């Protein structure tokens, strides 16, 4: 789960990580007020959307006075921000964060991630602050400092020194880095984060370290024990269909093709999308109904797929292991009867009770195209979508 | 021979809820020796003829169990893994989906130095055809033979196994390693077991987007595998930044793409099927004399 910059900074502040002073504003008037409360001097007005690259896209602007902050906020609020991470449709800005300006001496990158390869927490730092770390890794990998922390031992002082001396910090700033990293690490593990990115981390002319930008991601699997983090969820930032799917415990990702897919199991669902594309078609969605899909799930999945106006055909691909294909067939029939099938339906049932399932579908009299293999199912769905 | 489990495996079940009981029964029907269940507070009871114990240590000392299958819900699953290791088991297979990543990270680091092998979590389990079923796989689609199967997926594994069986190609052992970012045994670990197994003559490996486990496996194959390996990578057209069902199946920061994995595997001499419908056929062509 992602959170906004202003939410991330509130969490950082609560854990004792130094961040600039700032306030949230939803209207230009609020932005003016916020700027005044921050002293009336230089502020940054920052669009609050879940996407990187906001600065380049015009979502972050400086204002020298409170009245200028108002004008700037009126420009940013309501704009559709398009960055490399938002895709072509962009994201509408509903909130801005007004932050006291900082007197920047140097910019760095600092991040914590779960490193899958080493099975440790990795602290990543670089003197190349303010640019995407992937670019730095590509262009000049020698400028990346990476320190692996054993989660059972926690962050050690020598590891902070490795980061600090690696960044070329002086002894005063090194002490500040310890005071910065220790609470950041504590926040990461206590709140089950999956990514913490401070980019840029800045040193000021006064010799302070500050988190100028902050991005936090949290592990969805651990939200059950962090209701405070879950409360930060912003539904405006998500595809409404994905939200709907989550509520009924289905895994759904909207895509831009015209073949609706319902599959049990994530791997088989991905493979089904691959198969459709190999046959020259384009899937409308990824949908994993789960290894334990039942009649109710199938019905709910159908409703979700049919809400997409682009869908011209539906492909159901079930490999019954634990799931019984006869129950899936009943779910398909119930959904078809309730919702009315406006589009061709291709169903492939394989595995446990697949023969019974196929018989149920055949006996229904509904216009359902059966398929035996994965390839046959995809070919038939692609042909149906083309004809539709 | 096979790997990980065979007819001599004595299995205990941690977490005897609805799912644990259901699959314990299916495993018994398949011929697996299910010797104990562990459910704290229910020690002394019997469920479906299976004696229940409060702790894994008690179950081991009374029944001689040497492997465990874990169905404990996410919040307690990493604790169950560590309890299994503490009791001296050889193998634990964790089926549980949705375990917090940091729990697994701590458990995985905590297991260093332990002799127990962990498979999973978020996996369908392990089947050695006609000998032992641990987990939730539909064992009836397997048949005994010379091909090792290792996969990050559940139902896609069934699809691949089914393709093999229909071609008359049997399996030595089918292993689902799980779809989470942090798992007990990686492709590389299981490939090493298959390489050392006299009964296994070839391996089918099913990967997917996310992480770099397939790239690590490719490096292992190039250096250490004498047996032919055929692979498929799911998610060839998955959009970046989206979690595709599995917690570990996400292209992040330009890393974890299917195309990179396929290139690494092919450079290591692995034959990669482009279509998920051709996994069995690709193996049959690469190693023609496997068909029984």
Residue B263 lies in a domain: yes
Contact A270 B208 (CB under 8 A): yes
Contact B155 A374 (CB under 8 A): no
Classified as helix, coil or strand, A45 is strand
Which tens digits make up the pLDDT trace of A228-261?
999 999 888 887 888 888 888 888 998 989 999 9
Same domain, A256 and A375: yes
Same domain, A155 and A12: yes
Structure tokens at B137: 């796989």
Task: Report residue B76's pLDDT band, with 50, 70 and 90 as the boundaries.
Answer: very high
Same domain, A226 and A260: no
Give the residue from B155, B237, B280 with the most A CB atoms within 10 Å of its CB, the best one to mutate.
B155
Between the alpha carbon of residue A4 and those of residues A10, A180, A320, B45, the distances in Å are: 10, 20, 41, 51
Instruction: Give me the residues of B, 193-232, that contact A with CB < 8 A.
Output: 206, 208-209, 211-213, 216, 232
Which tens digits make up the pLDDT trace of A253-271?
989 899 999 999 899 999 9
Same domain, B117 and B147: no
pLDDT of residue A259: 96
Structure tokens at A293: 């899909």
Residue B292 pLDDT greater than 70, yes or no: no
Mean pLDDT of A75-80: 93
Last residue of a domain, one of B67, B90, B122: B122
Same domain, A221 and A110: yes
Which tens digits make up the pLDDT trace of B130-173?
999 999 999 999 999 999 999 999 899 999 999 999 999 999 99
The label of the residue with tokens 């793409």 reads B257
The pTM score is 0.93
Same domain, A211 and A172: yes
Residue B51 lies in a domain: yes
Residue A113 pLDDT greater than 80, yes or no: yes
Mean pLDDT of B24-47: 96
Same domain, B151 and B238: yes
Residue B130 lies in a domain: no
Q: Which residues in chain A are contacts of B246 at CB distance < 8 A?
A: 266-267
pLDDT of residue A132: 83
Same domain, B164 and B51: no
pLDDT of residue A180: 97
Residue B219 lies in a domain: yes
Residue B288 contacts A, CB cutoff 8 Å: no
Same domain, B82 and B156: no
Radius of gyration of chain A (CA): 26
Q: Are A127 and A64 in contact (CB under 8 A)?
A: no
Residue B187 contacts A, CB cutoff 8 Å: no
Last residue of a domain, one of A101, A134, A157: A101
Residue B58 pLDDT greater than 70, yes or no: yes
| Shortest distance, CA B263 to any CA of chain A (angstroms) | 17
As for how many domains chain B has, the answer is 2
Residue B133 lies in a domain: no
Task: Report residue A366's pLDDT band, with 50, 70 and 90 as the boundaries.
Answer: confident
Chain A residue closest to B239 (CA)?
A255
Which tens digits make up the pLDDT trace of B175-193?
999 999 999 999 999 999 9
Same domain, B115 and B157: no
CATH code where residue A149 lies: 3.30.470.20
pLDDT of residue A173: 95
Q: Which domain holds residue A87?
A: 21-101
Residue B131 lies in a domain: no
Same domain, A243 and A283: yes
Task: Report residue A11's pLDDT band, with 50, 70 and 90 as the boundaries.
Answer: very high
Same domain, A184 and A46: no
Checking A168-174 for CB contacts under 8 A at 24+ apart, the result is: A168/A127, A169/A203, A172/A207, A173/A203, A173/A207, A173/A209
* Strand extents, DSSP E, A64-192: 80-81, 91-92, 96-100, 104-115, 120-126, 144-149
Last residue of a domain, one of A208, A223, A238: A238
Chain A residue closest to B207 (CA)?
A267
- The H or E element containing residue A163 is helix A157-166
Residue B216 lies in a domain: yes
Give the residue from A111, A266, A280, A319 with the most B CB atoms within 10 Å of its CB, the best one to mutate.
A266
Residue A291 pLDDT greater than 80, yes or no: no
Q: How far apart are CA B78 and CA B146, in angstroms?
A: 34
Q: Are strands A60-63 and A43-47 parallel, antiparallel or unpaired?
A: antiparallel
Burial of B199 (0-12, 13-18, 19+ CB in 10 A): middle
Task: Report residue B243's pLDDT band, with 50, 70 and 90 as the boundaries.
Answer: confident
**Lowest mean per-residue pLDDT among A180-184, A303-307, B240-244:** B240-244
Same domain, B52 and B181: no
B246, B249, B258, B279: which one is catalytic? Answer: B246
Q: How far apart are CA A180 and CA A175, in angstroms?
A: 9
End-to-end CA distance of chain B: 18
Last residue of a domain, one of A73, A101, A129: A101
Higher pLDDT, A298 or B8: B8
Residue B212 pLDDT greater than 70, yes or no: yes
Q: Which domain holds residue B77?
A: 1-122
CATH code where residue A373 lies: 3.40.50.261
CATH code where residue B76 lies: 3.40.50.720
| Shortest distance, CA A117 to any CA of chain B (angstroms) | 7
Q: For residue A152, give the nearest of B106, B208, B247 by CB distance.
A: B106
pLDDT more than 90, % of chain B? 89
Q: Which residues in chain A are contacts of B248 at CB distance < 8 A?
A: 116
Q: Are strands A285-288 and A313-320 parallel, antiparallel or unpaired?
A: unpaired
Of A61, A2, A67, the residue nearest A34 (C-alpha): A67
Q: For residue A267, give the nearest of B154, B216, B242 by CB distance.
A: B154
As for how many domains chain A has, the answer is 3
Same domain, B107 and B149: no
Which tens digits make up the pLDDT trace of B59-70?
999 999 999 999
Q: For residue B156, give the nearest of A192, A194, A265 by CB distance.
A: A265
pLDDT more than 90, % of chain A? 70
Q: Which residues in chain A are contacts of B249 at CB distance < 8 A?
A: 266, 270
pLDDT of residue A152: 97
| Shortest distance, CA A130 to any CA of chain B (angstroms) | 16
Which tens digits make up the pLDDT trace of B10-23?
999 999 998 999 99
Same domain, A377 and A256: yes
Classified as helix, coil or strand, B121 is coil
Contact A224 B212 (CB under 8 A): no
Classified as helix, coil or strand, A381 is helix
Mean pLDDT of A331-359: 88
Q: For residue B234, give the nearest of A133, A264, A274 by CB distance.
A: A274
Same domain, B149 and B290: yes
Q: Which residues in chain B are contacts of A119 at CB distance < 8 A?
A: 105, 108-109, 182
Residue B134 lies in a domain: no
Which tens digits make up the pLDDT trace of A128-162?
988 888 888 888 888 999 999 999 999 999 999 99
| Shortest distance, CA B55 to any CA of chain A (angstroms) | 24
- Mean residue pLDDT of chain A comes to 92
Same domain, B106 and B170: no
Residue A292 pLDDT greater than 70, yes or no: no
Residue A99 pLDDT greater than 70, yes or no: yes
Mean pLDDT of A341-368: 89
Same domain, A156 and A72: no
Structure tokens at B241: 């930044």
Residue B1 pLDDT greater than 70, yes or no: no
Same domain, B290 and B161: yes
Same domain, A327 and A270: yes
Contact A221 B159 (CB under 8 A): no
Q: Which residues in chain A are contacts of B154 at CB distance < 8 A?
A: 265-268, 291, 321
Q: Which residues in chain A are contacts of B124 at CB distance < 8 A?
A: 291, 321
CATH code where residue B210 lies: 3.40.50.261
Chain A residue closest to B97 (CA)?
A221
Q: Which residues in chain B are contacts of A189 at CB distance < 8 A?
A: 102
Radius of gyration of chain B (CA): 18
Same domain, A108 and A234: yes
Same domain, A119 and A129: yes
Chain B residue closest to A223 (CA)?
B100
Task: Report residue B119's pLDDT band, with 50, 70 and 90 as the boundaries.
Answer: very high
Catalytic residue positions of A? 109, 197
Of A267, A347, A261, A327, the residue nearest B161 (C-alpha): A267
Q: Are strands B91-94 and B117-119 parallel, antiparallel or unpaired?
A: parallel
CA contacts within 13 A on the Cβ side of A73: 30
């Amino acid at each position: 789960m992602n959170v906004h910059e202003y939410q991330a900074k509130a969490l950082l502040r609560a854990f004792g990580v130094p961040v600039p002073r700032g306030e949230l504003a939803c209207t230009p008037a609020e932005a003016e007020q916020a700027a005044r409360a921050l002293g009336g001097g230089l502020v940054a007005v920052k669009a609050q959307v879940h996407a990187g690259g906001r600065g380049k896209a015009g979502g972050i602007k400086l204002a020298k006075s409170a009245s200028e902050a108002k004008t700037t906020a009126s420009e940013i609020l309501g704009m559709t921000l398009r960055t490399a991470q938002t895709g072509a449709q962009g994201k509408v800005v509903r909130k801005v964060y007004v932050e006291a300006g900082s007197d920047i001496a140097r910019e760095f990158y600092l991040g914590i991630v779960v490193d899958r390869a080493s099975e440790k927490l990795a602290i990543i730092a670089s003197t190349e602050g303010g640019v995407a770390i992937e670019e730095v890794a590509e262009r000049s990998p020698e400028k990346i400092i990476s320190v692996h922390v054993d989660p059972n031992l926690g962050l050690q002082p020598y590891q902070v020194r490795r980061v600090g001396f690696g960044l070329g910090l002086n002894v005063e700033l090194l002490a500040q880095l310890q005071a910065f990293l220790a609470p950041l690490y504590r926040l990461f593990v206590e709140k089950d984060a999956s990514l913490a990115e401070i980019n840029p981390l800045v040193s000021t002319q006064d010799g302070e370290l500050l988190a100028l930008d902050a991005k936090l991601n949290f592990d969805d699997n651990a939200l059950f024990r962090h209701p405070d983090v879950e409360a930060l969820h912003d539904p405006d930032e998500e595809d409404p269909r994905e939200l709907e799917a989550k509520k009924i415990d289905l895994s759904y990702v909207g895509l831009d093709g015209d073949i609706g897919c319902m599959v049990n199991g994530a791997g088989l669902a991905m493979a089904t999308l691959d198969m459709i594309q190999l046959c020259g078609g384009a899937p409308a969605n990824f949908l994993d109904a789960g290894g334990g899909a039942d009649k109710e799930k199938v019905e709910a999945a159908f409703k979700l797929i049919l809400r997409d106006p682009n869908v011209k055909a539906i492909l159901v691909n079930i490999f019954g292991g634990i799931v019984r294909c006869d129950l899936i067939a009943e779910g398909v029939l119930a959904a078809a009867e309730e919702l009315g099938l406006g589009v061709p339906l291709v169903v492939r049932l394989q595995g446990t009770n697949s023969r019974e399932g196929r018989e149920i579908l055949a006996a229904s009299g509904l216009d359902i195209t059966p398929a035996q293999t994965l390839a046959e199912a995809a070919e038939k769905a692609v042909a149906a979508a083309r004809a539709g | 021979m096979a790997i990980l489990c065979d007819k001599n495996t004595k299995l205990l079940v941690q977490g005897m809820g609805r799912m644990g009981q259901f699959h314990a029964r299916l495993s018994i029907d398949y011929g697996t020796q299910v010797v104990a269940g562990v459910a704290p507070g229910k020690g002394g009871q019997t469920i479906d003829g299976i004696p229940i114990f409060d702790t894994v240590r008690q179950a081991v000392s009374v029944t001689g169990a040497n492997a465990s299958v874990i169905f404990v819900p996410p919040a307690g699953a990493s604790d169950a893994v560590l309890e299994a290791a503490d009791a001296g088991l050889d193998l634990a297979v964790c089926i549980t989906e949705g375990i917090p990543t940091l729990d697994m990270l701590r458990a995985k680091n905590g297991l260093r130095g332990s002799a127990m092998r962990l498979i999973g979590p978020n996996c369908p389990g392990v089947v050695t055809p006609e000998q032992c079923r641990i987990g939730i796989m539909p064992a009836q689609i397997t048949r005994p033979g010379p091909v090792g199967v290792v996969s990050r997926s559940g139902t896609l594994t069934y699809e691949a196994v089914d393709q093999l069986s229909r071609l008359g190609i049997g399996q030595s052992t089918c292993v689902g390693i799980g779809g989470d970012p942090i798992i007990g045994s990686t492709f590389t670990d299981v490939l090493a077991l298959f390489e050392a197994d006299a009964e296994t003559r070839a391996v089918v490996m099913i990967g997917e987007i996310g992480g770099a486990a397939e790239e690590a496996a490719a490096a292992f194959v190039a250096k250490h595998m004498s047996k032919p390996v055929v692979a498929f990578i799911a998610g060839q057209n998955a959009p970046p930044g989206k979690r595709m069902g599995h917690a570990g199946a996400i292209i992040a920061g330009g890393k974890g793409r299917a195309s990179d994995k396929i290139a690494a595997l092919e450079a290591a001499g692995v034959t990669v099927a482009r279509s998920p419908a051709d996994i069995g056929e690709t193996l049959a062509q690469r190693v023609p004399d496997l068909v029984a």
